[in-house]
Chain A
Amino acid sequence: MYYDELLRLCGYEPEEIENERTRIEKALEKLELTPKDIDRGVKRVSQYFDIELTSIRKMMGLWLKSLIDLVLAREEREKIIYCAAPPFPQLANAMVMVSKEIFVTSPEVTVSQTLGGIFDKLNPVLEAAEGDLLPAGLAYCSGLQVRLGGIIKGVIPVPDLLVSSGFVCDETPKLDELVSKRYGIPVAYVDGVNDELEERWPRVSDKRIEYIAQEARDALAIFEEVTGYKVTEEVSQRANERSADLLTRGNRVLDLIRSADPSPISFVDMGIAFRLATRVANTTTVSTDTGGLVDLLYRELKERVDRGEGVLPKGAPRIAMGLPWTEPTGARVIDEAGLAVIVDMTTITELERIPSEYEDYWERSAEATLRFCGIKFARRFKQICKEWGVDGAILNYPIGCRDLCVAPVKSRDIIMKELGVPVLLLECDHIDTRDYSAEAMRNRVEAFAEMLKAAKAAKTK
């Protein structure tokens, strides 16, 4: 069939395609993906992703499977839960582990990775949201536009429960409240203040931890009410063990990337395939051996490193990036400029690995989450740059993101002043290509790369 080539490119086995054909075709129809769109997908995957690596192909396939499962969830699962992407990952992780009958996901991540990243067909979804509650030109979050637009267009199902968080960004709970009223869906709010003494990081105020932990417990009570499933202590522990295991395996890959020169992986692959596949859980990724894929990636990269091969010239400046991008055309500009991305903001710093003093699971989780987000962005990013000894850093600030439109500017000033590491700010949205063009970005990124290369060459002399 016309889509077989794309699926094979994305690591599907032939029998898998045969077994899944009915579901695949049903999903493609709902998604309004035509043969022309599939052809574009084939071209984009071949052009932007490292298809020499089986692990990367299979990770792309994992995203496609996540999309198909999401699109068909209403007819195949008992209940559907949408969680905010992710201010509180432990909560979604635990819900995901309860039962395969409950489909838990952050739909905006899956849809932007696939409809956007693979098919370059995100605009109709964004425009659907813009014609509704999130009008164009008013700096709304593109992730939320994807969520709302997907529901309006019928690309993704209306969920049975929304799990919403407002302690990083106020946009999500506001939108979820509107969606809740329109579709009659309950919302479980995991809310709280974002204020924190910056100097306290990586410690967090006890009051905030206790408050957020209680909000998480309350959210789980609503989850139980809606789904009939209880998130037990045992389930939470299993979820925790799974993410800790993935983190360990992921860190092995990061350590390899850190020590390798030339760099064995591009930013496109590192961000879209690897980092997001391991850090954002949904029912599909949890049902798959994601850890095995990460191990495969490690082995494939290790072989490259052992052969002395890489995707960039030896000695390329090593940089830290903000968040992984779901859109490959912009991400590719960074690779093409000869910059080796070795770390991003989803990395846990040494300072954050201090043991928790809390015994309660949700208090420990709330503490871990609160160390990550909000105003500590600058401190965290500085620590990452310091630990990883980068030559430079690039941060994008999407104007529609309540958190990221401010934090990167502050981060740049702190990092440049306190570490002397150059930071490039890019005003662009890592999901919405209408917000920027790769060509407009190229000039800045290339100039930044030239500067870093010259500085590195001078140091070597």
Chain B
Amino acid sequence: MLVAGIDVGAATAKAVILNDREVLSYAISPTGFDVVNAANEVIKLALEKANCSMNEIGFIVSTGYARSAVPFANKAVTEIRCHAKGAHFQLPAVRTIIDIGGQDSKVIRVNEKGNVVNFTMNDKCAAGTGRFFEVMAKVLGLDINEMGAVALKSSQPCQISSTCTVFAESEMVSLRAQGKRREDLIGGIHKAAVSRIVTMGKAVGYEREVVLTGGVAKNIGVKKFLEDEIKMEVVIPEEPQITGALGAALLADAELG
């Protein structure tokens, strides 16, 4: 029986279709303003890739900020639980998940069954999230996808005293005016954001294996700075952006027994 998971987040919508717990297809598309439309679009893309129709899907679980707005979902589950399930499926030895999404970041502790035992997430501030990197890339005139590689070239990351997305923007301008090297500026941005996430996660602690998920996991600089900070290897799944949707699909599969 086919099942689907759909994760409509602040920046992107993701859908995964499973057949007997095997990933049949997945899709990622921007969320935009209309979350219902985003959900419809992304599931349509995933169905096309899987060469199947909505009628063949036995159960759908939605997650992400717009989970309750997905009209075709049978059940809505928070992304914390979905990320735990998804990451555990991708790496059964996982005990800590660091998820950095568009507008939030979370550190989730799971047990050997992939059940959440504790979590922490950013409250009101977007520093340490994908949005922070996006804004900084724009200030520096960089493609966001290039940032990680540039950050790795930094030998002396700048001290970014503020990790507030708004104030860090003006701090960037000031540091540029001082003639700081671009790679050190970008290294500093990574260091500041990672430091904020790691500090937040200390409330629940870090235990091996540590998995990094979410769109920001595609930034190789973040992985490196995280590893330096927590002194542990950080594993990135093959497609880290779909972990939540994958978890939702696994929960959908469990619903059908």
Contacts and interface: CB of A to CB of B under 8 A. Distances in A.
A412 interface: yes
Contacts of A1: none
A21 interface: no
Contact of A451 (B79, B118, B123, B124): B118
A416 interface: yes
Interface in B162-221: 203
B40 interface: no
B123 A427 contact: yes
B45 interface: no
Given A427-B124, A436-B124, A440-B124, A451 B203 contact: no
A17 interface: no
A413 interface: yes
Interface string A445-456: 011101100110
Interface string B57-70: 00000000100000
B203 A412 contact: yes
A426 B123 contact: yes
A354 interface: no
Interface string B37-48: 000000000000
B118 A422 contact: yes
Contact of B115 (A416, A427, A440, A458): A458
Interface residues of A, number: 19
Interface string A403-440: 00000000011001000001001110000000010001
A181 interface: no
A444 interface: yes
Interface residues of B, number: 15
A7 B79 CA distance: 43
B118 A416 contact: yes
A447 B203 contact: no
B123 A447 contact: no
A443 interface: yes
Contacts of A440: 124
Nearest to A417: B205
Contact of A447 (B78, B115, B117): B78
A426 B79 CA distance: 18
B78 A450 contact: yes
Contacts of B121: 444, 447
A427 B122 CA distance: 10
Given A422-B118, A427-B124, A436-B124, A450 B80 contact: yes
B80 to A, nearest CB: 4
Given A427-B124, A436-B124, A451 B117 contact: yes
A412 B202 CA distance: 12
B77 interface: yes
B81 A451 contact: yes
Nearest to B81: A450
B65 A443 contact: yes
B10 to A, nearest CB: 11
B75 to A, nearest CB: 12
A446 B78 contact: yes
Nearest to B123: A427
B89 interface: no
Contacts of B118: 416, 422, 451
Contacts of A447: 78-81, 116, 119, 121
Contacts of B115: 454-455, 458
Contacts of A427: 123-124
A455 B81 CA distance: 12
A338 to B, nearest CB: 12
A55 to B, nearest CB: 33
Contacts of B119: 447-448, 451
Contacts of B79: 443, 447
A443 B78 contact: yes
B164 to A, nearest CB: 13
Interface string B67-105: 000000000011111000000000000000000000000
A58 to B, nearest CB: 35
Given A427-B123, A427-B124, A436-B124, A451 B65 contact: no
A426 B65 CA distance: 17
Contacts of A450: 77-78, 80-81, 116
Interface string B106-129: 000000000111110101100000
B162 to A, nearest CB: 16
A442 B157 CA distance: 37
Contacts of A446: 78
Interface string A366-392: 000000000000000000000000000
A408 to B, nearest CB: 12
A425 B200 CA distance: 12
A139 to B, nearest CB: 13
A229 B53 CA distance: 82
A413 B115 CA distance: 21
Contacts of B81: 447, 450-451, 454
A40 to B, nearest CB: 25
B99 to A, nearest CB: 12
Nearest to A458: B115
Nearest to A451: B116
A447 B121 CA distance: 10
A374 B123 CA distance: 25
18 contacts: A412-B203, A425-B123, A436-B124, A443-B65, A443-B78, A444-B121, A447-B78, A447-B80, A447-B81, A447-B116, A447-B119, A447-B121, A448-B119, A450-B77, A451-B81, A451-B117, A454-B81, A455-B117
Interface of A: 412-413, 416, 422, 425-427, 436, 440, 443-444, 446-448, 450-451, 454-455, 458
Closest 5 CB pairs of A and B: A447-B80, A447-B78, A427-B123, A451-B116, A446-B78
Given A444-B123, A448-B119, A450-B77, 5 more contacts: A443-B78, A446-B78, A447-B79, A451-B119, A455-B115
